[in-house]
Structure 1
Amino acid sequence: MKQILEAQRTAFMAALPEPLSVRKDRLRRAAAMIADHADRFCDALSEDFGHRSRDQSMLTDIGGSIAPITHAMKHVDRWARTERRKVQFPLGLLGAKAAVEYQPKGVVGVIAPWNFPVNLVMSPLAGIFAAGNRAMVKTSEFTPATSAVFEEVAARYFSPDELAFVTGGPEVGKAFAGLPFDHLIFTGATGIAKHILHAAADHLVPVTLELGGKSPVIVGTGADIARTTERVALGKMLNAGQICLAPDYMLVPAEQEGAVVEGLKTAATAMYPTLLSNPDYTAIINDRHHQRLTDWIEDARAKGATIETVNPAGEDFAASNSRKMPLHIVRDVTDDMTLMQEEIFGPVLPIRRYTGGVDAAIETVNARDRPLAVYYFGQDAGEQRRVLDRTISGGATINDVIFHVSMEDLPFGGVGPSGMGAYHGVDGFKTFSHAKAVYRQPKIDVAKLAGLKPPYGAATRRAVAGQMKR
């Protein structure tokens, strides 16, 4: 890994300044790499998951990878322009100029997760390549088939000094995180992110962390319950809930709880009338995560929760070798239950009642770590504004879930325990660029005119008085 990094950095330094034509060519090759091998990636994804919806993979990992790359190709000329900045009076009159120039940082390390193992490699690469960088990618050990496809096909489109893939388990990941990159982006669990930060600190590597957390849904005044529950069920069951932005729990007015539960059941049944043989429904990634979810459900049941399993066809999941898991709606939840303490990352949806207006729901959200997203459903403009103003989250979607991440011109990122930094679109370009301040001094002796040059005197005192003027 050190040799790859050194080769990339040497090539990067030799190529400076990196022309926009080269950046666009890398972006074109990146898009072609995914499009040309879409079927192989979809097969690999299904192999890694035990079953993964092919249509979903095309939507989230193939189309969802090419779209940000195309967006970057279209807009990188504008993103990369030098920005003129103002200079203080009277320096501008004397010919001084100030600007910000965006330079590539060098070699960016990407540590990718298993839940969207194509998209969450290629989406960061859109900003990394647009900014003019090289990249090394550490893929997840939980998706070995997908990683193998990347390793094979990348060599056909990129030189190793442009883009290289690294595979391996936790020890490889630990060593990768400790490399002296020029920037490191990690997508994954909050607990692991703490180790990533420690490893990066030894070389003072700038880090972007894309984490998760318990993203709440607040059902507010005037919410259309049928529409709300359909959209929540869609977001919760996509990829079987294995999404960092999946709605993690719902806060529902007490008098609407029954209607919400019935709406979720109706919506889930309409989308997935069967599950075990349904090609549209994805399995849990591995036995460990399936057991984890099962244990959390049983923990909630033992502590007094009511579990409603949405199994429209009455299928026998216990007798199946499949890791598919139906939607479990969990009522009467309390804070001592594990599923109310940890990010769920699966098709398990706790429902919490609230009374006393939306402020009670806001208070519940604010009592927890700051989430990656907050979702609000309702038509009351004042209530919408109050939720946005009084909660702090990485992002928010109003009257739907997850959709803000698909907007290429919006930054995607968390805050505090749900992450730091952001990417996507122009924000990704800036994350992976160095904003260099450039000041051009005129020929005139500005230091003497401003009283900056000893011996100090009246001019110096006039300059200080000007600085202190309010």
Structure 2
Amino acid sequence: MVADAACLQQSQQQIDALQPLLAAQRAAYRASPMPSADQRRAWLKALRQVILDEKQTLAEAVSSDFGNRARSETLLAEIMPSLHGIDYAGKRLGKWMKPSRRRVGLAFQPASARVLYQPLGVVGIIVPWNYPLYLAFGPLIGALAAGNRVMIKMSESTPATSQLVKDLLARIFPDDLVAVVLGEAEVGQAFSRLPFDHLLFTGATRIGKEVMHAAADNLVPVTLELGGKSPAIVSADVPLADAAERIAFGKTLNAGQTCVAPDYVLVPQDRVEGFVAAYRAAVQRFYPRLEGNPDYTAIINERQLSRLRGYIADAEGKGAQLIPLFPADQGRRLAHSLVLNVADEMKLMQEEIFGPLLPVVPYRRLDDALAYVNDRPRPLALYYFGYDKGEQRRVLHETHSGGVCLNDTLLHVAQDDMPFGGIGASGMGHYHGHEGFLTFSKAKGVLIKSRFNAARLIYPPYGTAIQRLIQQLFIR
């Protein structure tokens, strides 16, 4: 009881500090409402240097929080794309900031028009636990490139990483520029209710609805990156070894705890047996053993592990066939498994799996596979494996998803020159690269008139002259 009271008191103190922190950032923004390109590049350069200098320490903190995550996974999936994102933005920042010229109609001449890209002000970022570095640094890069002040709420499920990120960013940024907020779920709820100028949330669809509701009370615009059940479709003629290996990479990275991981795979019914064999071979090539394997990532905590085991028990109780690819679990290292004979009423076919379980759904024709996808909420990612251009075109044109990889998984997220974002149940809005800059900027339309005022011709009192002018200029 004493510990609970202390936790409640600490949470209340963290909540009480939010409004003053927001006020300090607003005041700092008002004092410097349009930072120069050089200033923004300096911010990005400082961020790049601290990430580069502390990459091993960051990877160790993430592994500590997970109970094991391969250092190489963190370097490849979090550190490297963060550094690339900074480099991409820094090189193009001047072009992005330059006002764009727009056309002025003949009836409004003489005048000129342009669009000015102005920082929004203070941006809030809510970070999930599965990629606590990249999903903090990625939005931060876009917000700083656009000239904003930023408050970041780190996940309570990654305490070592969250504290380290807070310490490192405090080393290079004052709190009125970038501030990291720690705390339990109630702190996150209070954070989502703050009147930011924009709020970006990455996480579960259920929580995303709550965040959007909280933001709506202050009319705060939101970007939601929510995930969902991302399908992989295996065509009738793609080499199974190719498809299985690439799907296995996307599903085993971070033990499937990835918002764009393949959630289930649609396989032609006469190729299911071959796919199972090819997939088993690929996974066991990646991970020759489970016990003591430093490359095999653990499930983040006991609560998530219990959830996944619940999915397994529910599916097997309803007739599914589990095919474990390893003899047994090792603590929180859950054995990767395929699941056959799945049905819609099973929990793992209703909820995003977010773990190393891959349901295999047979289909007869491509029409059936596309209908299966389209009958369900729109996913964050869709993967198609097949080299026929006509079938690729059908998949692109006849389905909706946040993004697509043809003949690969996950890698579209790392392309800095493409927007990243969901649609429908998988989210709204985009960021990464130029789209990130635009998301965190106000595209302000500006009309500039000269000393000569031709508009006086349309001022009242109205008479026959204005009627003739309207006839000449507006009516065709």
Q: TM-score, normalised by structure 2?
A: 0.94
Residue of structure 1 in register with 2:410 after alignment: 402
Residue of structure 1 in register with 2:104 after alignment: 87
Separation (CA, whole Å) in 1 of partners of 2:453 and 2:246 = 65
Instruction: State which of 423, 447, 450 in structure 1 corresponds to 2:431.
Output: 423
Contact 1:221 1:380 in 2 (8 A): no
Give the drift of 1:460: 3.6
Residue of structure 1 in register with 2:22 after alignment: 5
Separation (CA, whole Å) in 2 of partners of 1:125 and 1:456 = 57
Instruction: State which of 381, 384, 407 in structure 2 corresponds to 1:373.
Output: 381
Q: Aligned letter for 1:270? A: R
Instruction: State which of 137, 140, 153 in structure 1 corresponds to 2:168.
Output: 153
Residue of structure 1 in register with 2:362 after alignment: 353
Separation (CA, whole Å) in 1 of partners of 2:464 and 2:171 = 68
Distance 1:288 1:97, change over 3 A: same
Residue of structure 2 in register with 1:343 after alignment: 352
Partner deviation per Cα, 1:65-91 (whole Å, 9 max, x = no partner) = 211111111111111111001111243
Q: Aligned letter for 1:454? A: P
Partner deviation per Cα, 1:383-408 (whole Å, 9 max, x = no partner) = 11111101011110101111110100
Residue of structure 2 in register with 1:245 after alignment: 260
Instruction: State which of 402, 411, 421 in structure 1 corresponds to 2:419.
Output: 411
Separation (CA, whole Å) in 2 of partners of 1:202 and 1:122 = 27
Q: Aligned letter for 1:436? A: K
Which moved further from structure 2: 191-200 or 437-446?
437-446
Contact 1:223 1:377 in 2 (8 A): yes
Distance 1:97 1:344, change over 3 A: same
Q: Aligned letter for 1:326? A: A
Separation (CA, whole Å) in 2 of partners of 1:103 and 1:70 = 21
* Helix, strand or coil at the partner of 2:474: helix
Instruction: State which of 68, 72, 75 in structure 1 corresponds to 2:85.
Output: 68
Separation (CA, whole Å) in 1 of partners of 2:318 and 2:468 = 73
Residue of structure 2 in register with 1:290 after alignment: 305
Give the drift of 1:263: 0.8
Residue of structure 1 in register with 2:47 after alignment: 30
Which structure 1 residue ranges, 4+ long, deviate > 4 Å from structure 2?
none
Residue of structure 2 in register with 1:14 after alignment: 31
Separation (CA, whole Å) in 2 of partners of 1:30 and 1:147 = 16
Contact 1:212 1:418 in 2 (8 A): yes
Q: Aligned letter for 2:355? A: G
Contact 2:107 2:473 in 1 (8 A): no
Residue of structure 2 in register with 1:276 after alignment: 291
Separation (CA, whole Å) in 1 of partners of 2:200 and 2:221 = 9
Q: Aligned letter for 1:69? A: I
What are structure 2's unaligned runs of at least 5 residues?
1-17
Separation (CA, whole Å) in 1 of partners of 2:460 and 2:45 = 53
Residue of structure 2 in register with 1:389 after alignment: 397
Contact 1:245 1:402 in 2 (8 A): yes
Contact 1:447 1:453 in 2 (8 A): no
Distance 1:37 1:457, change over 3 A: same
Instruction: State which of 321, 326, 343 in structure 2 corresponds to 1:306.
Output: 321
Contact 2:383 2:409 in 1 (8 A): yes
Identical amino acids, percent of aligned pairs? 48
Separation (CA, whole Å) in 1 of partners of 2:461 and 2:227 = 56
Give the drift of 1:466: 3.9
The answer to whether structure 1 residue 44 and structure 2 residue 51 are counterparts is no
Q: Aligned letter for 1:439? A: L
Separation (CA, whole Å) in 2 of partners of 1:452 and 1:220 = 66
Residue of structure 2 in register with 1:328 after alignment: 337
Q: Aligned letter for 1:440? A: I
Partner deviation per Cα, 1:315-351 (whole Å, 9 max, x = no partner) = x42xx4x200121100111101110000000000000
Separation (CA, whole Å) in 2 of partners of 1:383 and 1:464 = 53
Contact 2:323 2:338 in 1 (8 A): yes
Residue of structure 1 in register with 2:15 after alignment: none
Separation (CA, whole Å) in 1 of partners of 2:167 and 2:424 = 37
Distance 1:456 1:40, change over 3 A: farther
Q: Aligned letter for 1:453? A: P
Instruction: State which of 215, 219, 222 in structure 2 corresponds to 1:200.
Output: 215
* Helix, strand or coil at the partner of 1:115: coil
Separation (CA, whole Å) in 1 of partners of 2:380 and 2:127 = 17
RMSD of the TM alignment (CA)?
Answer: 1.3
The answer to whether structure 1 residue 216 and structure 2 residue 231 are counterparts is yes
* Helix, strand or coil at the partner of 1:168: coil
Give the drift of 1:221: 3.7
The answer to whether structure 1 residue 433 and structure 2 residue 441 are counterparts is yes
Separation (CA, whole Å) in 2 of partners of 1:36 and 1:190 = 35
Separation (CA, whole Å) in 1 of partners of 2:305 and 2:134 = 23
* Helix, strand or coil at the partner of 1:438: strand
Give the drift of 1:38: 1.4
